[in-house]
Amino acid sequence: MTQSRRDFLSLTAKAAVLAAGAGLGLPALLHAATPSEFGSTPLPVPGASGLFGLLAPEGRLTLTAAEAPGALPATGAPMLAYRASHKGADYLNPILVLRKGQDFEATLANGLNEPTIIHWHGVDGPWRQAGHPSYAIGPGGSYKYGFPITNRAGTYWYHPHPHALTAKQSYMGLASFFIVRDSEEDAFAKDLDLRLGVTDIPLVIQDKRLTHDGRLDYSPSKDDLLMGYLGDTVLANGQHKPTLKAATRLYRFRLLNGSTARIYNLSFVQGGSRLPLLLVGNDGGFLPAPQRLDGLFLAPGERADVLLDLRDLSPGQEVFLQNMPFDPMHNEGGMMGMTGMGHGAAPAASAEGHGGSHGALGEGDAYAILRLLVEQQVAYDRSLPKSLPSIPEPPAGGTERPITLALQHMGGWTINGLTFDMGSAPIVVKKRGVEVWRISNAKESMPHPMHLHGYFYRVLERKGSPAQAKSRAVDTQGRMATDLGYKDTVLVWPGETVSVAIDFGTPRYPGEQLFLFHCHNLEHEDQGMMLNVKVV
Ligand code: C2O
Ligand code: CU
Ligand code: CU
């Protein structure tokens, strides 16, 4: 770096601190983003091999779940990963790139010392292909998947789903993207001159606790199992506070919350203000129309596909992907006779750690996750998309099904008062018509990201939303921009009712199907906040 560049950077830093003091009300935020905390560690971006390498499978692919020594980018510690070899290249947690219509054939080989199974999250397929925990295979075993890709283009993902072990295995590293492309995606990427891994960046955000020697520590206490295991170090593509060198052009980020429990309130911040984002897609591909916003909530399991325009920036300037302060709404305290100490608490109350572990990073704290450093001036002449491939309106009407989320007295989280039982299916739906699920979260509760396998939701309405969600409503039904389009995971805040329409009518898979409906707070899922859904 040249002397003048260094001076320029430190000036920018000072300007940022000054701006923070100038009454923007975000001092902690900018403190969290001082460049000194960001070294020159590069963001791991998907390449042609290695960790998160891009892999477009031809023929049957074997994914071996196993320990990967030295693989964790942040510390060089071991992690768990899906190993694959394809056309002479070796991968860990490959980002699978599929085309709609293609046959996907994969074999999971279990190289762990405990059961596992892969779930293709958001990817359509009959239930035997979807990683139901009853299909978990033991150490040394294998499971063959084979099904046609029928999803529209979108950012899906894959992770383990063995019962009671999903959180730990995902946390230890087993997770990656499953990207589907089609002709609409081709046209979009061409119009905007986007290239996967270069200007179209899959970005998985995960929080971890690390031991003093940098190893991943998954040792939830009883409280952690109840509330979710929060880490104190937030990683982007496995790296802590990385930098992506950028040019003055448009970027696409496929954001995935791959954390077990932590919810993020994400914004891209430059010099004290939030940059506008164009949300173009979420869990199930493109939205019906692009949505301009300056921040979004991303709960475990959810994806957001955003465009960020860096054309107005100059070389030397920095943009930070930040978690913005919010109320994590851990309102379960009263019910449990607890004080709500520390865990995920709002910024003002989160100074102390919990469970005697490392200093906790509250969910509602301000902190930076990733730095974009503008280095290169380029000419970019494409215009932002005004429209997106059209999708049908959410279906009107349908059979109503009330769903309640609550804490059992002195027990765990329940759905309709029940916890998971492998052998029973408390929700039975007919392969006929539409159901409207009214998912109500108790007041004395915490946020639950509710996920359904096999089908997508269309969010119809949010009622009783807390101010931080209500203020982001884009219509009179209280929906946020991130609710539009197809969703497979919806965050339900305490006291809120989210109504979703699910079309069980379109014939999809022959025969009876057994899918799952569960909280994607993976500690909650493992503790039984999950029900079988039988489709008959
Ligand atoms: Cu992403 Cu059933 O999970
Ligand atoms: Cu899923
Ligand atoms: Cu939950």
What pLDDT digit, counting tens, does each position of 463-502 carry? 999 999 999 999 999 999 999 999 999 999 999 999 999 9
Give CA–CA dist 132/134, Å, rounded: 5
CB of 451 within 6 A of ligand 1: the answer is yes
Place of tokens 């699978």: 96
Identify the residue whose C-alpha is closest to ligand 1 atom 1.
121
Given a contact cutoff of 8 angstroms between Cβ atoms, the answer to whether 470 and 464 are in contact is: no
Token digits of residue 178: 């499953």
**What domains can be seen in the chain, in order of their start residue?**
5-35+192-376 (2.60.40.420), 50-182 (2.60.40.420), 399-535 (2.60.40.420)
Token digits of residue 251: 């970027």
Residue type, 510: P
What pLDDT digit, counting tens, does each position of 133-187 carry? 999 999 999 999 999 999 999 999 999 999 999 999 999 999 999 999 999 999 9
Give CA–CA dist 486/122, Å, rounded: 10
Give CA–CA dist 134/145, Å, rounded: 15
CB of 240 within 6 A of ligand 1: the answer is no
Does the CA dihedral 490-535-147-137 come out positive or negative?
Answer: positive
Residue 271: count of CB within 10 angstroms of its CB: 18
Residue type, 461: E
Give CA–CA dist 449/462, Å, rounded: 14
pLDDT at 410: 75
Question: In Å, how far from its chain's centre is CA 2?
Answer: 38
Please check the confidence at residue 236 and state whether its pLDDT lies above 70.
yes
Given a contact cutoff of 8 angstroms between Cβ atoms, the answer to whether 134 and 422 are in contact is: yes
Beta strands 399-407 and 367-376, pairing class: unpaired
Distance from the alpha carbon of residue 363 to the mean position of ligand 1, in angstroms: 21
Token digits of residue 149: 């890709």
CA atoms within 13 A on the CB side of 492: 31
Question: In Å, how far from its chain's centre is CA 152?
Answer: 19
Dihedral pair phi/psi, residue 86, rounded to 5°: -150, 125
Give CA–CA dist 460/434, Å, rounded: 13
Give CA–CA dist 319/267, Å, rounded: 10
What pLDDT digit, counting tens, does each position of 11-36 carry? 334 334 333 333 334 444 444 455 56
Question: Contacts by 79-84 with C-beta closer than 8 Å and gap 24+?
Answer: 79/172, 79/173, 79/216, 79/238, 80/112, 80/169, 80/172, 80/173, 80/174, 81/51, 81/173, 81/174, 82/118, 82/158, 82/174, 82/176, 83/111, 84/55
CB of 531 within 6 A of ligand 1: the answer is no
- As a whole number, the mean pLDDT across the chain is 90
Helix (H, G, I), strand (E, B) or coil at 347: helix
What atom of ligand 1 comes closest to residue 131's alpha carbon? Answer: 2
Given a contact cutoff of 8 angstroms between Cβ atoms, the answer to whether 497 and 477 are in contact is: no
Distance from the alpha carbon of residue 49 to the mean position of ligand 2, in angstroms: 26
Identify the residue whose C-alpha is closest to ligand 1 atom 3.
121
What pLDDT digit, counting tens, does each position of 343-353 carry? 444 333 333 33
CB of 119 within 6 A of ligand 1: the answer is yes
CB of 516 within 6 A of ligand 1: the answer is yes
Please check the confidence at residue 367 and state whether its pLDDT lies above 90.
yes
Q: Which residues of 408-434 are buried (b: 16+ CB within 10 A; e: fewer)?
A: eeeeebbbeeebbeeeebbbebebeeb
Whole-model pTM over 0.85: yes
Given a contact cutoff of 8 angstroms between Cβ atoms, the answer to whether 147 and 188 are in contact is: no
Residue 118's H or E segment, with its range, is strand 118-121
Dihedral pair phi/psi, residue 99, rounded to 5°: -105, 140
Cβ-Cβ contacts under 8 Å for 75 (sequence gap 6 or more): 210, 214, 215
Distance from the alpha carbon of residue 441 to the mean position of ligand 3, in angstroms: 10
Place of tokens 């054939």: 105
What atom of ligand 1 comes closest to residue 525's alpha carbon? Answer: 2
> What is the rounded average pLDDT of the residues 98-122?
98
Distance from the alpha carbon of residue 383 to the mean position of ligand 1, in angstroms: 36
What pLDDT digit, counting tens, does each position of 196-225 carry? 999 999 999 999 999 999 999 999 999 999
What pLDDT digit, counting tens, does each position of 429-444 carry? 999 889 999 999 999 9
Distance from the alpha carbon of residue 37 to the mean position of ligand 1, in angstroms: 34
